[in-house]
Amino acid sequence: MEIKPVKEFREPDYPTLDDFIKNPHYILAHAPERWKGNKILWAALISLALGNQSCDFIQNKHSRIEFIKIHEGPDKNDSKENVIPKDSSFVAPLFHHGEGIGAYGCVVIMPPVFINEQEAKQIILNELRKQNLLFDTTAQPLAKIILRTEKKLWEESNGDYKERDTTEFRELTFDGYNKELNFGFCFVSSMKYNHFTDYEPATSTVSIEDYKKTSEKIRSEIRKANDVNAVVFYEPIPYTKRDEDGDRSQRHEIMNKRKEMAVDSLKAQVSDFVRWLKTEKITLK
């Protein structure tokens, strides 16, 4: 046995008290159910857990109240105002611009055009910045959101390949985050799609990639976690007619056109989000 100084040690991935104390509502959001069910304990928890942070908390609450009015996008057919409890977060609806569906396989029915993930992030940030909505691309919310995804693995067994069910748990990373407002945005790129899409059996040699479906799953998990205010954008993959692929000499031009359409669709998603914030009198500044 000897003294061996450790040269490098990864900083553990659970927060410090200092990180946590800035977000006292987490203490309330993650109280044991049996405490929540007891009025005395719940009242004590609220007053004791917040302690001398109550002023900050109230201030935060006020800033939250400005933008937390409804839990998610209003149902156009429902005029009722959906007021949420003060300590829950909200997640904007999915803004539909672009089909968000592509297909792969031996016969390419509708070759998808993707926006490069970095490029997409930049487009979103620029559009938001125009409205003075600023997001940090390096920060992440304190609370982690872990998504469960059902997958199939192909394994060799005695010279044969067999499918095996497997469940993956993966952390969702936000592409931009405003720490002060605890607000994040997430772009469902092809990488996120691969990470968070559940396995579905293919009915032919063509597989469909439905980005909106995966985006809805991510939205739903963010809502369930109830820890961070968020909006999810998705890879637009604009619809094009199949016969546009016919003329191979024009393919390059067609692809460029589709790319432009994709970029426009993404900008439209962001623009809808900003409009929605205004309509709902939600202030992020």
Partner 1 sequence: MHVTLHLTTSCNLNCSYCYSAPSKKGIEMTREIIDKSIEFSCREFNSNIGIIFFGGEPLLRKDLIRYTIGRCKSLEQQEEHKLNFHFKVTTNGMLLDSDFLKFSKESGLNIGLSIDGDSRAHDLNRKLGNGEGSFQFIDKNIDTLLEYQPYVNALMVVSPGNVKYYARSVEYLINRGFRYIIASLNYAGNWNNEHLKELEEQYNKMSRLYKKWTLEQKKFYFSPFEMKLATHIRGNDDNCYSCQLSRRQISIAPDGKIYPCVQFVKDGISNADFSIGDIWKGFDEKRELLFNKSVEAKDGCKDCALNKRCYNTCSCLNWQTTGQINQVSPLLCETERILIPIVDRLGEEMYNLKLPMFIQKQYNLAYPLLSMLEDEITSNKN
Binding residue for partner 1, selected from 70, 103, 143, 268, defined by CB under 8 A: 143
Contact call for residue 144 and partner 1 (CB under 8 A):
yes
268 binds partner 1 (CB under 8 A): no
For the chain, what percentages of helix, strand and coil (3-state, to nearest 5) are there? Answer: 40, 20, 40
Q: Residue 41 interacts with partner 1 (CB under 8 A)?
A: yes
> Closer to partner 1 at the Cβ: 229 or 269?
229
Among 22, 25, 30, 75, the residue binding partner 1 under the rule CB under 8 A is 30
From CA 42, how far away is CA 61, in angstroms rounded? 18
Distance CA 213, CA 250 (A): 32
Tell how far CA 266 is from the center of its chain: 15
Residues between 206 and 235 with contacts to partner 1, criterion CB under 8 A: 225
| Contacts of partner 1 in 81-140 (CB under 8 A) | none
What three-state secondary structure class fits 247?
coil
User: Alpha carbon of 103 to those of 30, 207, 284: distances in Å?
Assistant: 41, 6, 37
Burial profile 58-76: b = 16 or more Cβ within 10 angstroms, e = fewer: eebeeebeebbbebebbee
CB nearer partner 1, residue 127 or residue 227: 227
Query: Which x/- pattern, by CB under 8 A, does the window 44-63 give for partner 1?
Result: xx--xx-x------------
In sequence order, what are the residues at sequence separation of 6 or more whose Cβ sits closer than 8 angstroms to the Cβ of residue 93? 72, 73, 219, 276
Residue 254 near partner 1 by CB under 8 A: no
Sign of the torsion angle spanned by Cα atoms 120, 125, 126, 131: positive
Given the rule CB under 8 A, which of 22-30, 154-162, 184-192, 271-279 is the region that contacts partner 1?
22-30
CB of residue 26 to partner 1, shortest distance in Å: 7
State which residue, 34 or 281, has the beta carbon closest to partner 1: 34
Q: How far is the CB of 38 from partner 1 (least distance, A)?
A: 7
Phi and psi (nearest 5°) for 170?
-135, 145
Q: Do the beta carbons of residue 147 and residue 221 sit within 8 Å?
A: yes
Among 171, 180, 200, 260, binds partner 1 (CB under 8 A): 171
Q: Does 26 bind partner 1 (CB under 8 A)?
A: yes
Q: Note whether 110 and 240 are within 8 A (CB).
A: yes
Is position 17 an interface residue for partner 1 (rule: CB under 8 A)?
yes
**Interface residue list for partner 1 (CB under 8 A):** 1-9, 12-18, 20-21, 26-27, 30-35, 38, 40-41, 44-45, 48-49, 51, 143-144, 146, 171, 225
